[in-house]
Amino acid sequence: MLIIILCITTVYLIYKWSISTFDYFEKQGIPYNKPLPLVGSNINTFFDRKPFIDVLHKWYNEFKNERLSGLFEFRRPAVLVKDPKLIKQLAVKDFEHFMDHRSVIDEDVDPLFGKNLIALKGNKWREIRATLSPAFTGSKMRNMMDFVSTVGHQTAEAIKKDIKSGGVNTFEFEEFASKFTIDIIASTAFGIEINSFKNPTNEFFKVAKEITNFATLKIGLKFAGYLLFPKLMKMLNVHLLDKVGCDYFENVICDTIQTREKKGIMRNDMIQLLLQAKAGKLSIETEGKNTEGFATTAESQLGKNEVKIKWDEIDLVAQCFSFFVAGFSTVAQTMSFVGYELACNPDVQQKLFKEISEMNNEINGEKISYEQIQKMKYLDAVISETLRKWPAAPVTDRICVKDYELKYDNKCIKFEANKTIMLIPIWSIHRDPKYYQNPDKFDPERFNDENKKLIDPDTYLPFGVGPRNCIGSRFALMEIKTFFYYLLLNFTIEVTEKTQIPLTFENSAFAIKPKKGIWVELKPRS
């Protein structure tokens, strides 16, 4: 009998603990998504019952006349800020109150994950961001463009040769694009050449695929564990990412760095820039007017200050690793959506090919340069529209780091330091008919010279918002544009029997993953 009483008492105490925060929004008169004990509002996301983008859109439309609403990430209150002006106020004007992303993995448990720029907090983030900002300016991208252009040309030639010799010409586009992005990362970040199209089973590519696969139940459970029981997960030394894969890349990076320093090797790539940053020799340059595309993010004034910090080797390795993770899967995913839209919209593809062909004639078939790729306005419009319709990060977050009161519409909501999260629903804002007419239509003309002036920049957030926007937007856009320049110069992209129209998505809390992939056919132009 005593055991039964103890069990009932334990269950009751766990239940009370699991709902102890659930009055947070009710006390403040803020409409909120009704939570369930322990799991909060996450039942459909963390347990793979619906695609996350569907859940996010449901949250976004739940209280249509409200500029923000509440929900719960397990026990933690999260404010879904739906109004672009409020987002700008919180993430830009009052940035000091919302400087950090929420914590997931402690750097003591997983240094590669916990020490990278995305995960860093407070002054450490500010110092690393300011130090790294000069590495991602347009001038530094120009220095790396030769590597990117070389890989783009080699990729097109390898595919053309394979198809002409009887190889397949039907591809799952994300898998296809991943080989290009990993070759770019290997070349520009690690200083090695792997050519994944000729050697698709190379270890570098294999490990990269494994380590960036976030759409698994195992990753979901680990993530949930860190949100619910961070101290226990730390005590058990549970790594979010595959440790074998992380160790592999850490060894590759360390070996490359040691070889460079020992032999005095200089190369215009990301490791060289990081080594310069570590030595305090990375110069801060004044960028002129942005001519690098509509989606390119502006760097904040944080990067203009002179910052002197002491770098440990693991700090440098973590930044190189974050460049790899961010630049591999998310860029390949964006490329796959560009490929899908071009296949489904042959008129858009033909117009883009015309621009590419004219540029190729202008440069007499030579490798395209950074300045030349930026001149191509329709190419930029196609990529900008893809990033609107299919943003790589459907939502981004901030955690309140200083107590804050937001007054709006005769209401007031209190954000508590280190407790309340702000969620920014990028996917839903980009698809809101208030901001984009007929939002489900793929229409690059939204971003032509005449129409893009009409777009409210606060409603276009493919690379995030405020000082914590994506530091690598220039590099990502350079990759994507170069890839499609060489691809369309040599092939048409067409739908096949396996192409899914319209797309439907896997039930996943961590990835926008089309069911059965995105299949296209590549037909050589000559």
**Cβ neighbourhood burial of 414 (10 Å; 0-12, 13-18, 19+):** middle
- Residue entry with tokens 């860029």: 331
The 8-class DSSP code of residue 467 comes to G
Rounded to whole angstroms, the Cα distance separating 386 from 390 reads: 6
The 8-class DSSP code of residue 474 comes to H
| Pair of tokens at residue 433 | 């008919």
Q: Which residues contact 64 (CB under 8 A, 6 or more apart)?
A: none
- What angle (nearest 5°) sits at the alpha carbon of residue 224, between those of residues 20 and 508? 125
The 8-class DSSP code of residue 89 comes to I
Q: Which residues contact 337 (CB under 8 A, 6 or more apart)?
A: 386, 389, 390, 518
Q: Which residues contact 235 (CB under 8 A, 6 or more apart)?
A: none
Rounded to whole angstroms, the Cα distance separating 476 from 460 reads: 17
Alpha-carbon distance values, 478 to 87, 226, 448, 473 (Å)? 28, 35, 19, 8
Residue pair 90/98 in contact (Cβ under 8 Å)? The answer is yes
Which of 491-508 are b and which e, b meaning 16 or more Cβ less than 10 Å from the residue's Cβ?
A: bbbbeeeebeeebeeebb
Rounded to whole angstroms, the Cα distance separating 326 from 307 reads: 25
246 has binding-site annotation:
no
Annotated binding site for heme: 470
Annotated binding site: 470
